[in-house]
């Protein structure tokens, strides 16, 4: 009996050692598999002055590789790790959508009801279409009729974000009928985060922490920077490698989440329905499917579900993804559901290398994806600029008004038969519309001029015009734009003279 017991103990020890050795061997194999990616990242940091890059790969419910390179903070000589928190930029959107879906499951919110039902004193202003069609779901889809929007507020300046009610009163405007077209709008997700706070009775920050981050084990994730986590946050850097001051937004649900590559892997595995030990199932699998699949059926050009972009044929696979980019930030998160793969790559400077690295990581795991990626690189070529052909209906003089939140401003447009388009706002100098595009009845371009509100008038800016031909009138938006500072849209309407 003792001999048998001794032999059993020996077997258990032997088996345990064997499993440990196999596990270590598997981890080593996984680690070595990504040597080419490691080399690419190190070369990028050296040759392009990128401060740091953090990458993580999860497959079949476990992290198979995570590693960080470079400096989270150059000045303090703090190295990046897989737990370093990066500003996610627009990857905040699928995270925010996940939080909203919790309220839907609890019966506190209906995605098909108008967003105005969940807002306070400030409602969406309807210039085109009907407010009843500007549903919460359409805001998630970017098909509600809201225009482009971006508004950054730097901590070293004396200009502060207004209340969300004030932001909605100023810029919550429907410039196209809901469901007509896809228009990416950060303000839409700022409104979603505001709806979360109003419906839940908690601040957006607190709701996301208690209902999403903690239950999913995302301990290095927060909206903005919590004081307890400030030592984990990577500094955002300009292209000249100088550090950026901290900045916030009036569209926090679109852009304000900070997270680590490790935590994004946990979030990605939850989205892949891996049911990890220690993770609370904050959503039913059916709700996760809805996040990935539901689109606005009335908007043919939309490839955006509920907080996620999707592709039916991304190098031979159906993928769910989102990227992020703004001052000092480039981020990528891509899921391949059929292969149970999640890849996140984060960087604290604005460099598109993160998207290349994401694709090359997936290519290492999926040969078919790699072949299509290589074929795409070989066949890609620069597209030649085509001469813009304007329809005769546009030729002639147009007059109308820009409706800013402060006042109405006269605007004139002259479309010549030679293709030149002349613009004049109020008593400002007449100028040409440049970077001209006309597609599916919509005229777009950029011109010199100013919107003289207290928001847009803070700095010299250019104006971006986007208007759709609707019989004898044109309508859409004029946007005051400075890259990485603001994109502030006003409604514009012109009539043929």
C-alpha torsion angle, residues 232, 237, 243, 248 (rounded to 10)? -70
Count of Cβ atoms closer than 10 Å to residue 214 Cβ: 14
Count of Cβ atoms closer than 10 Å to residue 62 Cβ: 15
Residue 413's domain spans which residues? Answer: 392-496
The residue behind tokens 């010549």 is 416
Question: Three-class SS string for 403-470?
Answer: ECCCCEEEEEEEECCCCCEEEEECCCCCEECEEEEEECCEEEEEEECCCCCCCHHHCCCEEEEEEEEE
Q: Are residues 317 and 233 in the same domain?
A: yes
The answer to the question of residue 402 being in a domain is yes
Domain boundary among 342, 376, 410: 376
Sign of CA dihedral 219, 224, 229, 233: positive
The answer to the question of residue 26 being in a domain is no
* Residue 455 predicted with pLDDT over 80: yes
The answer to the question of residue 75 being in a domain is no
Reported confidence tier of residue 81, pLDDT bands at 50, 70, 90: very high
Q: What is residue 18's predicted lDDT score, i.e. its pLDDT?
A: 39
Domain boundary among 350, 376, 402: 376
Reported confidence tier of residue 481, pLDDT bands at 50, 70, 90: very high
Q: In total, how many domains does the chain have? A: 2
Q: Are residues 195 and 304 in the same domain?
A: yes
Q: What is residue 31's predicted lDDT score, i.e. its pLDDT?
A: 64
The answer to the question of residue 107 being in a domain is yes
Q: What is residue 491's predicted lDDT score, i.e. its pLDDT?
A: 98
The residue behind tokens 């689109």 is 295
CATH number at residue 218: 3.40.710.10
Q: What is the mean pLDDT of residues 207-212?
A: 98
The residue behind tokens 């050692």 is 17
Per-residue DSSP letters for 111-180?
Answer: TTSBGGGG--S---EESSS-GGG-BHHHHHHT-SS----EEEEETTSS--PPPHHHHHHHH-EE-S-TTS
Q: Are residues 175 and 275 in the same domain?
A: yes
* Residue 464 predicted with pLDDT over 60: yes
Q: Are residues 364 and 399 in the same domain?
A: no
Q: Residues 6 or more apart from 259 whose CB is under 8 A from it?
A: 85, 86, 88, 91, 95, 218, 220, 221, 222, 267
The answer to the question of residue 484 being in a domain is yes
Which helix (DSSP H) or strand (DSSP E) does residue 82 occupy? none
User: Which percentage of the chain shows pLDDT scores above 90?
Assistant: 87
* Residue 104 predicted with pLDDT over 50: yes
The answer to the question of residue 400 being in a domain is yes
For residues 156 and 15, give the distance between their C-alpha atoms in angstroms, rounded to a whole number: 60
Task: Specify the DSSP class assigned to residue 266.
Answer: H
Q: What is residue 32's predicted lDDT score, i.e. its pLDDT?
A: 82
Q: Are residues 415 and 287 in the same domain?
A: no
Beta bridge pairs of residue 332: 323, 345
- Predicted TM-score (pTM) of the model is 0.92
Q: Are residues 273 and 344 in the same domain?
A: yes
Q: Are residues 321 and 410 in the same domain?
A: no
Q: What is the pLDDT of residues 180-205, one digit of tens each?
A: 999 999 999 999 999 999 999 999 99
Q: Are residues 324 and 349 in the same domain?
A: yes
Q: What is residue 30's predicted lDDT score, i.e. its pLDDT?
A: 65
Q: Are residues 418 and 302 in the same domain?
A: no
Q: What is the mean pLDDT of residues 24-38?
A: 71
Q: Are residues 431 and 300 in the same domain?
A: no
For residues 34 and 65, give the distance between their C-alpha atoms in angstroms, rounded to a whole number: 8
Domain boundary among 349, 376, 403: 376
Q: Are residues 352 and 440 in the same domain?
A: no
Q: What is residue 29's predicted lDDT score, i.e. its pLDDT?
A: 52
CATH number at residue 401: 2.40.128
The answer to the question of residue 36 being in a domain is no
Q: Are residues 355 and 441 in the same domain?
A: no
The answer to the question of residue 19 being in a domain is no
Q: What is residue 100's predicted lDDT score, i.e. its pLDDT?
A: 98
| Token reading at 265 | 């892997």
Q: What is the pLDDT of residues 240-281, one digit of tens each?
A: 999 999 999 999 999 999 999 999 999 999 999 999 999 999
Q: What is the pLDDT of residues 147-182, one digit of tens each?
A: 999 999 999 898 999 999 999 999 999 999 999 999
Q: What is the mean pLDDT of residues 31-50?
A: 92
């Amino acid at each position: 009996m003792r001999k048998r017991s001794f032999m059993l103990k020996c077997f258990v020890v032997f088996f345990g050692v064997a499993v440990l050795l196999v596990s270590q061997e598997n981890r080593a194999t996984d680690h070595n598999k990504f040597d080419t990616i490691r080399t690419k990242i190190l070369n990028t940091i050296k040759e392009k002055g990128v401060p740091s890059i953090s990458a993580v790969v999860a497959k079949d419910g476990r992290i198979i590789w995570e590693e960080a390179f470079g400096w989270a903070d150059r000045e303090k000589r703090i190295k990046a790790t897989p737990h370093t928190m990066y500003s996610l930029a627009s990857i905040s959107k699928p995270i925010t959508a996940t939080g909203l879906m919790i309220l839907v499951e609890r019966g506190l919110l209906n995605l098909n009801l108008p967003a105005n039902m969940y807002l306070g004193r400030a409602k969406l202003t309807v210039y085109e279409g009907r407010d009843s069609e500007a549903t919460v779901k359409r805001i998630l889809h970017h098909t509600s009729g809201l225009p482009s929007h971006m508004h950054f507020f730097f901590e070293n300046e004396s200009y502060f974000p207004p209340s969300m009610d004030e932001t909605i009163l100023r810029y919550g405007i429907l410039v196209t009928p809901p469901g007509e077209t896809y228009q990416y709008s950060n303000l839409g997700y700022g409104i979603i985060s505001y709806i979360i706070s109003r419906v839940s009775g908690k601040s957006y920050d607190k709701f996301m922490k208690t209902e999403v981050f903690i239950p999913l084990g995302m301990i290095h994730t927060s909206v903005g920077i919590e004081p307890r986590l400030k030592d984990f946050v990577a500094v955002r850097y300009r292209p000249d490698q100088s550090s950026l001051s901290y900045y916030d937004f009036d569209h926090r649900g679109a852009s304000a989440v900070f997270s680590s590559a490790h935590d994004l892997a946990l979030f990605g595995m939850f989205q892949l329905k891996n049911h990890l030990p220690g993770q609370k199932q904050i959503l039913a699998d059916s709700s996760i499917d809805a996040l990935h699949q539901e689109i606005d059926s009335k908007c043919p050009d939309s490839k955006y579900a509920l907080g996620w972009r999707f592709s039916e044929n991304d190098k031979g696979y159906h993928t769910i993804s989102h990227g992020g980019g703004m001052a000092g930030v480039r981020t990528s998160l891509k899921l391949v559901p059929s292969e149970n793969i999640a890849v996140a790559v984060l960087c604290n400077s604005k460099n598109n290398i993160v998207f290349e690295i994401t694709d090359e990581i997936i290519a290492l795991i999926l040969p078919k994806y790699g072949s299509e990626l290589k074929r795409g690189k070989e066949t890609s070529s620069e597209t030649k600029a085509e001469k813009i052909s304007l329809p005769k209906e546009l030729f002639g003089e147009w007059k109308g008004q820009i409706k800013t939140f402060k006042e109405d401003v006269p605007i004139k447009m002259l479309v010549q038969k030679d293709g030149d388009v002349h613009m004049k706002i109020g008593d400002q100098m007449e100028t040409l519309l440049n970077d001209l595009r006309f597609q599916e009845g919509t005229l777009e371009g950029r011109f010199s001029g100013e919107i003289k509100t207290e928001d847009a008038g803070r700095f010299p800016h250019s104006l971006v015009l986007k208007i759709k031909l609707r019989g004898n009138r044109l309508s859409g938006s004029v946007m005051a734009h400075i890259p990485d500072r603001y994109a502030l849209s006003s409604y514009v309407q012109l009539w043929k003279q």
